Amino acid sequence: MMYDVIVVGAGPVGCKTAELLGKEGIRVLVLEEHPEIGKPVQCAGLVSHRIFDLSEVSKDVVTNNVNKARFYTSKNNYLELKSKNDVYVIDRERFDKELSEKAKSSGVKIKTSTKFENHRNKESFLELKTTKGDFQTKLLVGTDSPNSTVARTGELELPNNILVGLQTTVKSNFDVDVVELWFSKEISPDFFGWVIPENEDWARIGLATSKNSMDYFKRFLRMRLDTKVKTRDDVYGVIRYGLIKKSVNDRVLLAGDAACQVKPFSGGGLIYGLMGARFAKESCMRCLKENRYDSEFLEKNYDAVWKKKLALPIRKGLIMNKLIHSLSVNKLNFLFNSIQKGKLTKLLEFMDMDLL
């Protein structure tokens, strides 16, 4: 069978892209290498109010609402800000599964335990090789992780900014409406640590760094918790960030983490990725309508279009990321104190949660 579009990766961005195309009557196949949608979880699960408009997922996935963020440099020094809009802690596995069911309801076929290996260009289609046989498609959409195989086989260069994130869920006592973000070179030299409460008794604690992640992670847990505690749900993941030079090639386009549609400052990929899914859907529809699948056409109708919306926020995030992690603890404390006293209101406008 010849598919109009094959999507590699059944995460939120892949399933949303497939769902939107399926609603238009497009023949779509999604390939997922893991045996179960939503596993393994590779996300802290903290999202803004925009997630529900973009995903159209129910609020049944919400495990907690938070309205405050504390930016720590040490246990005794922090800046507390209250959010103007709701911020949600979600069950990421349930979120992914709901999106996959929505895709199936739109006529999309999903094949799990099917790993994409490479593709070959034919005269009027692509032939995909997988661990479960070969498939044919007019268009290939890669939403398959920060280390995208589709990007590699499509000869698309990815940014080389890479972080390794580690997280566990801890039983202790937590402020249920407060997210903690910990900044200092001792905690993470190039990112930050986080504490995201699911409720008063359990919180997701993690951090990301570019090197020696486990050492920093163990040190952060000891510092934040003092005593040995019960843990569950260990999470490991890679964050790749930066503005990709080109997210398309002949009959191939990337979206989500594969296209680095990721906030550089926070590492979050759901909001930008779900925006990318809509751009990908529109681009695929235009390709199929005009029977144009060449790189030039895709660059104009996809790459340039999503970058018009997201390139500036990504660049702003890169600047903020570089600035924050270049500061000493004393300078960070001075910055936080200035914000607390209302001296840097313009900076707060710059720091929209979904624009960094």
Q: Is the bond preceding residue 40 a cis peptide, omega within 30 degrees?
A: yes
> What is the four-CA torsion angle of 186, 189, 192, 193, rounded to 10 degrees?
-40
pLDDT of 350: 42
- For residue 118, what pLDDT is reported? 96
How far apart, in whole angstroms, are the C-alpha atoms of residue 269 and residue 43? Answer: 9
Domain that holds residue 258: 2-355
Name residue 232's beta-bridge partners. Answer: 169
Q: Which two tokens stand for residue 302?
A: 């996809």
Confirm whether pTM is higher than 0.85: yes
The pLDDT value recorded for residue 18 is: 98
Give me the number of domains the chain comprises.
1
Q: Provide the pLDDT for residue 349.
A: 44
Give the integer Cα–Cα distance in Å for 336 and 78. Answer: 7
d(CA 47, CA 271): 8
CATH code: domain of residue 244: 3.50.50.60
Look at residue 354 in the predicted model and tell me its pLDDT: 57
Quote the pLDDT of residue 344.
55
The pLDDT assigned to 342 comes to 67
pLDDT tens digits in sequence order for the chain, 356 residues long: 899 999 999 999 999 999 999 999 999 999 999 999 999 888 889 998 899 999 999 999 999 999 999 999 888 888 888 888 889 999 999 999 999 999 999 999 999 999 999 999 998 999 999 999 999 999 999 999 999 999 999 999 999 999 999 999 999 999 999 999 999 999 999 999 999 999 999 999 999 999 999 999 999 999 999 777 888 889 899 999 999 999 999 999 999 999 999 999 999 999 999 999 999 999 999 999 999 999 999 999 999 999 999 999 999 999 988 888 888 888 888 888 777 766 555 555 444 555 54
